[in-house]
Amino acid sequence: MITVLHEQSETTCTSARVRGEELWLTASELAAATGWSMKPEGLCRGDVCLPVPPSRAAEYVDGAYLNATAFWQRLQHPVVHDAAGEVWVLGTSAADRGSALASLEAPDFALQDLTGATWSLSQQRGKKVLLATWASW
């Protein structure tokens, strides 16, 4: 059983296969885990598409399977996994984090409180917000 962690989501990918340092996912599981979906023009999210280089298609696509590691590395995002290959983090690059911050639009997130209720930052729109971190430690 392979779990893929991306942004705030945690997705169990029952069809996933690991080949050495590569995580191969079906297009539907990659889409479920990351929001990136396979289209004729390449792997896309929103308006952004990453084409599959025709001369190296075999590195990225094998039948129903996509090489998530190869796509992620081409997007310059971090990929890390545990020794057993059961937990994979498809991370987000510093460039993406930096450009989101530099837009000056506060990056949105959704987290739970202790009662299990989910709150997003964006639902506070219309108020001034002091977004403050703390910890017990």
Partner 1 sequence: MWQSLHASLEARNFTVVAVAMDEPEAARPWIEQAQPTFPCLIDRNHHVADLYNMVNVPQASWIDEAGRIVRPPENAGSSDAFRAMDRTTMQMSPAQITERNRSKQTYVAAVRDWVAKGAASEFAYDAASLRSQLRLPDEAMAQAHARFRLAQALLRKGNGKEAALHFGEASRLHPESWTIWRQAAAKDATGLAVSAEFWARVDALGDRPYHRPIDMKGLRRGEA
Residue list 55-94, contact with partner 1 (CB under 8 A)? 76-83, 87, 89, 91-94
Q: Is the dihedral of CA 59, 64, 69, 73 positive or negative?
A: positive
Confirm or reject binding of residue 1 to partner 1 (CB under 8 A): no
Asked whether 13 and 23 are in contact (CB, 8 A), the reply is no
Q: Binder to partner 1 among 5, 27, 32, 50 (CB under 8 A)?
A: 5
Q: How far is CA 84 from CA 11, 15, 16, 19, 112, in A?
A: 17, 16, 13, 12, 30
- The smaller minimum CB distance to partner 1, of residues 62 and 119, is found at 119
- Asked if residue 134 binds partner 1 (CB under 8 A), the reply is yes
Residue in the block written with tokens 């506070």: 124
Q: What is the DSSP letter of 99?
A: H
Q: Given the complex with partner 1, which of 42 and 85 has the nearer CB atom?
A: 85
Binding to partner 1 by residue 18, rule CB under 8 A?
A: no
Residue 65 CB partners (closer than 8 Å, separation 6+): 17, 24, 25, 26
Nearer to partner 1, 41 or 96 (CB): 96
Residues that bind partner 1 (CB under 8 A): 3, 5, 7-8, 10, 76-83, 87, 89, 91-94, 97-98, 100-102, 104-109, 111-114, 119, 121-122, 124-137
